[in-house]
Amino acid sequence: MTEMSSLELLLTAVIALVALATIFGVILGYAAVSFKVEGNPLAEQIDALLPQTQCGNCGYPGCKPYAQAIVDGEPINKCPPGGQATIDALAALLDVPAPELDAEHGEEAEVKSVAYIREDECIGCTKCIQACPVDAILGAAKLMHTVIVDECTGCDLCVEPCPVDCIDMLEIPSTLGDWHWQAPQTPAERFTSKHRDSNIIATDHAA
């Protein structure tokens, strides 16, 4: 009799747990559907065109927030790492004129760079690790740090916090693997460029 009572209690407990799990599962599933926040497809397309350096030069904490800001009306020319090529791509996507890079946010680098830590001089303060937006630096407190080259975006945010100035930004020359052919200008672009240059020359002569 005692064994039967114990078995019944066990079965009752299992059934109760299964019932509760089912109820909570239904509630969570309903909440996931009802409160789901849809991403903005346009913001995602813009984000895909940005260089993903997460450098903050645009005034936003990363590329995704800047992409959303562009959707909300922010100018498309605030990304120095992306340069004119990114501006042109964004302009084509949004079907708007392509402005020149806003110099207030920095200049476009002709050659990409990557951070390099002079390991013999590193004191292991971890300040560069805290500053890196993409977790491209390995190390621990009071131990040597090093940069994961393939993960580094060249944002240079780790340089300033370093108290012993042991981080250099090294240029990465273009190779056949990452070199991109510059497409020729369209007739309309050539006309616009020629017209702009003529106005500049005429202004210089008038001065």
3-state secondary structure the chain: CHHHHHHHHHHHHHHHHHHHHHHHHHHHHHHHHHCCCCCCHHHHHHHHHCCCCCCCCCCCCCHHHHHHHHHCCCCCCCCCCCHHHHHHHHHHHHCCCCCCCCHHHCCCCCCEEEEEECHHHCCCCCHHHHHCCCCCEECCCCCCCEECCCCCCCCCCCCCCCCCCCEEEEEECCCCCCCCCCCCCCHHHHHHHHHHHHHHHHHHHHC
- Write down the pLDDT at residue 164: 97
pTM over 0.85: no
- Write down the pLDDT at residue 186: 60
Which residues of the chain are modeled with pLDDT < 70? 1-5, 32-39, 174-207
- Write down the pLDDT at residue 21: 84
CATH topology of domain 39-108: 3-methyladenine DNA Glycosylase II; Chain A, domain 3 (1.10.15)
- Write down the pLDDT at residue 175: 65
Kindly state the tokens that stand for 136: 């491209």
Task: Report domain extents, the chain.
Answer: 1-36, 39-108, 112-172
- Write down the pLDDT at residue 132: 96
- Write down the pLDDT at residue 189: 56
- Write down the pLDDT at residue 3: 54
Topology alike, domains 39-108 and 112-172: no
CATH 3.40.50.970 corresponds to the domain 112-172:
no
- Write down the pLDDT at residue 38: 59
